[in-house]
Structure 1
Amino acid sequence: MPPTPSDRPSVLFVCVHNAGRSQMAAGFLRHLGAGRVDVLSAGSVPGDRVNPVAVAAMREVGIDIAGQAPRVLTAEAVRASDVVVTMGCGDACPVFPGKRYLDWRLDDPAGRDIDAVRPIRDEIERRTRTLLGELLP
């Protein structure tokens, strides 16, 4: 029987535009977590769409993030999350006691071609798999 929402860990991925790194990480965690983790993503200054090169890079590994949209970071999203993973959002991410914060320093895929985005994607996958292993031992 699948866990109820209150039984699942929740993770919020945050980057500046919520158009590349955080969307790829959320896509990986949704896919790999298979409904066992609640996944959110947001940006401190959300873009108007998900980076098409990030979409293409994720499609190469069988994950479709084309239907996602950048969302603004809210204090409510942070409060609702057990783990907050920041990716270059700086001081824009609110900090609340009792939350686990991780800062993943990753290159920004904005303005890069697919060959430059693939290694970023692969590193995000590696880190997401490690996080999932910690959340669901």
Structure 2
Amino acid sequence: MADATTWHRDLSVDQQLALHTSATRLAEEFTGIYGSETIERFLYTSYDQFASRSTVSNFLPLLAERFARQRLQALARVEGHHRDGKPVVLFLCTHNAGRSQMALGFFQHLAGDRAVAWSGGSEPETEINPSAVAAMAERGIDITGEYPKPWTDEIVRAADVVVTMGCGDACPIFPGTRYEDWDLDDPAGRDLEAVRPIRDELERRVRHLLVEMGVPAR
């Protein structure tokens, strides 16, 4: 297998240094679980996921590190290296810019550290829908720290519940995983007033999901 330097000869010196620093941090976090080859592979393939559709490269190493960390955490759950007993929910939609991000925001806000939630899209946008950000801010929930991203097999396999919202046949199916499909309007291109009912319905469904999972809401 080629090393990371061979894979990315076209990266600037600053990008290479940033990714090297990210790989070092991840190696420290996953010491005794995954070696440097696995960590670099996840980091650089995560980088490629964002580089292929981004017009701004400054934050790519940071996004790649965050996504690689999530993927490695998911893989550790799948392979039995991480057993904290917390249920995992994955929210999926087409662009990971509106519905799945709002659902994630509500879930994290209501569940706190009693459960884990992730989100992803089949065709991720480059940024979160501003109307979705504004709608959630009205509820005191800040989702500006999130970012649209794809899903990967290990992330889907690590989830106990996968909630799909409009990704159709593109949504991944794995045996033994609980799936729910939430039929909700896509907030893409809608103003704040039009997004509010979608937000409110998402909150209702997330609260109901938490009750079903036995996770007390804050």
| TM-score (norm: length of structure 2) | 0.60
Q: Does 1:76 align with 2:154?
A: yes
Residue 106 (structure 2) aligns with: 28
Residue 48 (structure 2) aligns with: none
Q: Does 1:43 align with 2:147?
A: no
SS at match of 1:34: helix
Deviation at 1:6, TM superposition (A): 2.9
User: Deviations along 1:1-44, whole A, 9 cap, x unmatched?
Assistant: xxx86311000000000000000000000000011110000000
Residues 63, 5 of structure 1: CA spacing in aligned structure 2 closer, same or farther, 3 A cutoff? farther
Residue 17 (structure 1) aligns with: 95
User: Deviations along 1:50-78, whole A, 9 cap, x unmatched?
Assistant: 10110000000010001100010211111
Gaps of 5+ in 2: 1-81
The count of residues paired between Structure 1 and Structure 2 equals 134
Gaps of 5+ in 1: none
Give distance in 2, aligned partners of 1:61 and 1:9: 25
Q: Does 1:88 align with 2:170?
A: no
Give distance in 2, aligned partners of 1:77 and 1:126: 25
Give distance in 1, aligned partners of 2:149 and 2:116: 16
Give distance in 1, aligned partners of 2:194 and 2:83: 37
Residue 110 (structure 1) aligns with: 188
Give distance in 2, aligned partners of 1:5 and 1:120: 34
Give distance in 2, aligned partners of 1:91 and 1:42: 15
SS at match of 1:45: coil
RMSD of aligned C-alpha atoms?
1.1
Larger strand percent: 1
Supply the AA of the counterpart residue of 1:129.
R
SS at match of 2:90: strand
Supply the AA of the counterpart residue of 1:135.
M
User: Deviations along 1:69-127, whole A, 9 cap, x unmatched?
Assistant: 00102111110100000000001111111100000000000000111000000000000
Supply the AA of the counterpart residue of 2:101.
Q
Give distance in 2, aligned partners of 1:67 and 1:5: 27
Residues 35, 116 of structure 1: CA spacing in aligned structure 2 closer, same or farther, 3 A cutoff? same
Give distance in 1, aligned partners of 2:122 and 2:214: 28
Residue 137 (structure 2) aligns with: 59
